[in-house]
Structure 1
Amino acid sequence: MNQHPSQPDENQSTVGARYNSATEWMSFFTQRTGLIWAAGAGITQAAQLIATEAVVHMVHPMQALFIRSCFLLIFVLFISWNESQRYTAWDLVINISFGLFDAAAVFAAVTAMSFISAADAGVILFNQPIPSSIAACVLLGESFDWLDGVLTVINCIGLVCICKTTMADQGAAYSVDTAVTGHALLGILSSAVGLGFNTLVLIAARSLAHRDTEDPCLVSFMAGCNGLIISSVYLTLTSSWQLPETNQAVFYCILLGVVTILCFYIYMNAVKMENVLIVAIAISLCIPLNFMFEFIFKGRTVFLVTLIGVVFTVGSTVLLYIKTFLTSRQETAENN
């Protein structure tokens, strides 16, 4: 008599296969916690950009840099001084350079947000995949295969789609309080300068990871010191100090400081564990998140081209994670 496999056995094998697949994904993210940190960096960057924009329009723009720098000084309480004793003079130079690059990037960002919205500025400020990955490949010798190139191109196509309707004719696209239409070019140029410094920030942080001398608390403290000095000198020389006049302004200043602390800690852990390309693409998640914020809370008009761009941007991030998972799985199989 011919015996056929029973239906329960088939169901059990299907459930077992799904369970094994889910287990593999969980194991992968457990082993590659840097991917989770990288995604968190993108989310907190979005929150920091939103808080910075609010502060820029309530006090002098440079006070946004001063406020976030003051909060970063809290990291001095958590620096591993025993570990820092083995750092070389070159490590100190990189740490100081990180702080200078970060301060310059924030200065460019707050200047840009004086003329265009945070979402529009963020499109350029955090369009880091191509410049960061190329710089990491050339300067740090990190891998960059053809699949990485394809995903980077997809990501950048998405960014172009997002900014197409906003940069071309901002006045017709939506209404803002500042003189966006007349000063859009200055805002775009400032954002481009900020992108350059953001790329240098990422490269400096990753170079410390390559030298095994990274300390998220020390780097964050250095960034706070540099930002505090630069903003204090600027505000004093220009007599631009301005106290928050409302409770709302005080709230946003405190919010900016808290979000900055969280953002720096997550960002440095992401760079410590993952390569520049993964961190750069994950950070670009803040771009669609900022547009979603303006769409939901500010009534901004969202066009079809913008939605397509969001799909491309988020999709490239998801595909990168899948590609990384499959590569890790293949390497594990080869080792076994």
Structure 2
Amino acid sequence: MLPEISIITPTWNGLPYIKECVESVITQSFQNWEMVISDDGSSDGTRDYLKTLNDSRIKVYFQESNLGIFENLNFIFSKTKSPLSQILCQDDYFVKKTSIETIINYWKRAPESISFVRFNFNNVVQCKLTKYLKEIAPKVLDSSKSSLFFYIFGNIPGNLSNVSLRSDIVKKFNYFQQSLPFAGDFDFWSRVSEKSNIGIEDEIITFVRRHPKVASITLNKKGELISQNNKIVSSLYSKLLDTNRNKKLLLKIIGTLNYDSLQRDTALRKWFYGYSEYLIELNLISTNTSFILPNYIRWFLFIVSLGGRVGRVLIAKIIFKIVTL
């Protein structure tokens, strides 16, 4: 009998958390699953632990050289056997014994138009803009609205462990792009959402762990994420501009607040402590980015918005009222 769902777990130096991750799958009330783990060259004992697993439903692969997280994800999806998948990163775990059952039940009632669903929406990181997102986000985000939502709110699915998906969409939408090693998920979800609807669910199914060695921190020390995010957002901006040429200024203001002012606040903090690379990278990228305002206006907006903390919700509300989708 084929498994009804695949649990997708890429690993790299996953101790001490990988054991808790695996055990949260094994103890689920719903048992017709497979767990596909691909270790990306761990050197901390993760491989030794994975070799002790003897559950036939757990398939473990060991990469001889480091692929990077998104190429590793692509590899895992090439090995899955079930039509549905749930990503569960090595640091994270299912919070309830019924988490997989919740996912399966969601897909039983989900329309074919939905390609992936973001769970854990009640746990969205709190700021004024994300509170506004929670106010207006529908249970099903139509593909016609996705460019605007992703442009204003960024990577809506957030952490990979929030996402369950139809397994075949990875191949159908040309895989996660390893050329974007820090923003491959943002790129993939935004591309998929332009062609199909996405689900947004409050139900908490996984615990997404934050710690000093989490990838989003360790992989963005010098602003490596800035240029990759800007490539994705530039594409979203161009699509919105096609039907909203007369809204160009508003789109640039929210783009500058979201992707320059907030980053500039981080960059200046790093610069204060002697790390100038982040600010240099931000200035270089922002100067050559279509959706960000010119230099002197960027600094003015940074100051009056208190580093992007003030004004974003107001501009977002105006845009949602007048932009043509």
TM-score (norm 2): 0.29
Higher strand proportion (structure 1 or 2):
2
Larger helix share, 1 or 2:
1
* TM-score normalised to structure 1 length: 0.29
Structure having the higher Rg: 1
